[in-house]
Amino acid sequence: MSGHTYQHYLFFEVTPGFYQLPAADQAAAKKAFLKLISDQPAISITPYAAAGFTTNATFMLWCRAGTPDAVQNLLPPLWRTALGAHLRLVQTYFGLVRPSPYSGRTGKPDQDMNQFTDRLPYFILYPFTKTHSWYQLSPENRRSIMGQHIKTGVAHPNIRQCLLYSTGLGNQEFMVSYETASLEEFQDLVMEMRSTIGRPYTLSDTPIYTCIHKSAAQLMDWL
């Protein structure tokens, strides 16, 4: 299992007042914020730009850690920065990396996002919940249905994914995130997934979040 068992997706809105500050103050605030998120040995942080794709969110931080409280401990010093004074945490998703009960692993290694240090340009997050009837199926039936689902995903080797388990910890049961170099190819994958026999057992899979990857320095330049 990955050493980054506990993972958060933190969506922030930069409030309009920040952009009314003098340019020098904005630059200093962004420099201090960049230093803070870059100097976190206990947390791996990947930033994404969300504005234009997601309502009320300017950027997102994908945070991975070995303990459940590491990201929580990051937030107070983050808010104490000059930029933090102009941030609203508008959405948080939290989940655990666990081996699949169907495959016994966390994902196909060459498509598991946690196995890579480089990042693809586009990120999409789906929080989702299964229906009650799904859990009434026999383990064999569920394994068979998921086999088709997994086969569909494997047929798109250029798309990576990360499945997190949040059952009992959040409003959704699971979160699956994807990264891809092509939004068109990802859309093809989703269309295929929607026609699999397991689709009727999805109770909800919205809201959907789409973001664009930026390094921490690029994100600060972009803000």
Contact 81, 36 (CB under 8 A): yes
What pLDDT, in 10s, does the model give residues 123-171?
999 999 999 999 999 999 999 999 888 889 999 999 999 999 999 999 9
What pLDDT, in 10s, does the model give residues 21-43?
999 999 999 999 999 999 999 99
Q: Please name the amino acid found at residue 26.
A: Q
Distance of CA 136 to the CA centre of its chain: 29
Residue 110 pLDDT: 87
Element (H, E) at 61: strand 59-65
Residue 117 CB-density burial (10 A; 0-12 exposed, 13-18 middle, 19+ buried): exposed
Rg (CA), the chain: 18
What is the 8-class DSSP label of residue 166?
-
Contact 216, 37 (CB under 8 A): yes
Contact 149, 174 (CB under 8 A): no
Percent of the chain whose pLDDT exceeds 70: 97
d(CA 16, CA 90): 15
Q: Which fold has domain 109-210?
A: Alpha-Beta Plaits (3.30.70)
Could you tell me how many residues make up the chain? Answer: 223
pTM over cut 0.95: no
What pLDDT, in 10s, does the model give residues 44-94?
999 999 999 988 899 999 999 999 999 999 999 999 999 999 999 999 999
pLDDT at residue 185 is higher than 70: yes
Of 117, 2, 113, 4, the residue nearest 67 (C-alpha): 4
Residue 104 pLDDT: 67
Q: Under CATH, domain 6-96 is a member of which superfamily?
A: Apc35880; domain 1 (3.30.70.1030)
d(CA 120, CA 106): 19
Instruction: Give span(s): CATH 3.30.70.1030, the chain.
Output: 6-96, 109-210
| C-alpha separations of 15 from 18, 33, 215, 217 in Å | 6, 15, 21, 20
